[in-house]
Chain A
Amino acid sequence: MITINLAMAVVLAVLYSVGFYLLLQRSLMRILIGIVVLGHGANLLLQLAGGPPARAPVLGTALPEEFADPLPQALALTAIVITFALTTYLLALGYRSWVLTGRDEVQDDVEDRRVAERERPEGSMEEDAEGPDDEEDPGSAAASDRTDEPAEVSGSGAAR
């Protein structure tokens, strides 16, 4: 079993927590950076799984017992390439989303809310319509979407 030193453990903890924190944001750019940071964390962990630093595993340059474990390096290399490629794809997708919708946010699912509205009893719907709680939170995207939601819903309803 391989153990790692404290400094690396701290670095990993920071990378993972920053990555997951950013993933939970609403802005697409932050999510993307979150994925990148998380990917760095995972790749670093993979690299560390090979044990402490040692000589390059090339035959003839050192004794076999001095070699570092080459397998995690190969795995990390592959994983880095894959994460890099998918990050690029996500970036392109983010750009496309920005072109199409003009927003850098992951939005609510319209159909989800339509189903919620549909199934809600009559009384609670009226209550909700006059309830100002949503407007009080300017940070929530649900609130900012609120105004154009009826248009979106009817639009999608007609399209279906």
Chain B
Amino acid sequence: MTTREPVPFTQWDEPEGEWTLPGACPVRSNRTLMLEAAARFLFPTVLVFSVYLLIVGHYAPGGGFPGGLVAGLAFVLRYIAGGESEGAEIGSRFVVRPPVLMGLGLLVAVVSALAPVAFGAPVLASAKVTFEIPLVGTVDLVSSLLIDIGVYLLIIGVVLDLLRSLGSGIERDAREAAGEEAGP
């Protein structure tokens, strides 16, 4: 059993390790424990809520666009808490680049718009599948959900790209400018 070194009183509120951080925060002093901890708990919750919005969109307020925005907001929260954003960081190891999300979303949306033609229906037509799931009850699945999924991915991609270019990009510019001024 290893004994820990005693932590000085003044550093009690400093976070230990990378538990709360999705990415590496470039400026240590800019961190807030409260936001980081809250982001840690809120992030998955908000993501689940965004998927809920995505699915109920056909019959209730929601849909791909609001769902995507809400999911985007989850990433915004993580960005505010953790700084630096290069894309959707899953487990902070595997990073999905925003253009990939956008391209995939657009692709899914267009393909599902064209897909009805293969079944002899007009473009953008939709079909409904109803089935029973034990314990859950009757579930209606509409094929236009696919378009919503495309929009959902697209919007997340756009928000992440905004974070990358207008968030981290501007921060990086500012840091470089500050570095230049401080240098010779």
A residues lining the B interface (CB < 8 Å): 81, 88, 92, 95, 99
Contact with A along B156-184 (1 / 0, CB 8 A): 00000010011000100100000000000
Q: Is there an interface contact between B162 and A99, defined as CB atoms closer than 8 Å?
A: no
Q: Is there an interface contact between A81 and B162, defined as CB atoms closer than 8 Å?
A: no
Question: Between A and B, how many residue pairs show CB distances below 8 Å?
Answer: 7
Give the docked Cα–Cα distance between A100 and B165 (Å): 16
B65 at the interface (CB under 8 A from A): yes
Contacting A at CB under 8 A, from B19-68, are 65
Residues on the A chain within 8 Å of B65, using CB: 81
Give chain B's interface residue range (CB within 8 Å of chain A): under 10
Say whether chain B's binding surface is mostly helix, strand, loop, or mixed: helix
- Would you give the shortest CB distance from B105 to chain A, in whole angstroms? 15
Could you list some 7 contacts between A and B, CB below 8 A?
A81-B65, A88-B162, A92-B165, A92-B166, A95-B166, A95-B170, A99-B173
Which single residue of chain A is at the shortest CB-CB distance from B177?
A: A99
Which single residue of chain B is at the shortest CB-CB distance from A91?
A: B166
- Would you give the shortest CB distance from A89 to chain B, in whole angstroms? 10
Which single residue of chain A is at the shortest CB-CB distance from B162?
A: A88
Residues on the B chain within 8 Å of A99, using CB: 173
Residues on the A chain within 8 Å of B170, using CB: 95
Residues on the A chain within 8 Å of B166, using CB: 92, 95
Which single residue of chain A is at the shortest CB-CB distance from B165?
A: A92
Residues on the B chain within 8 Å of A81, using CB: 65
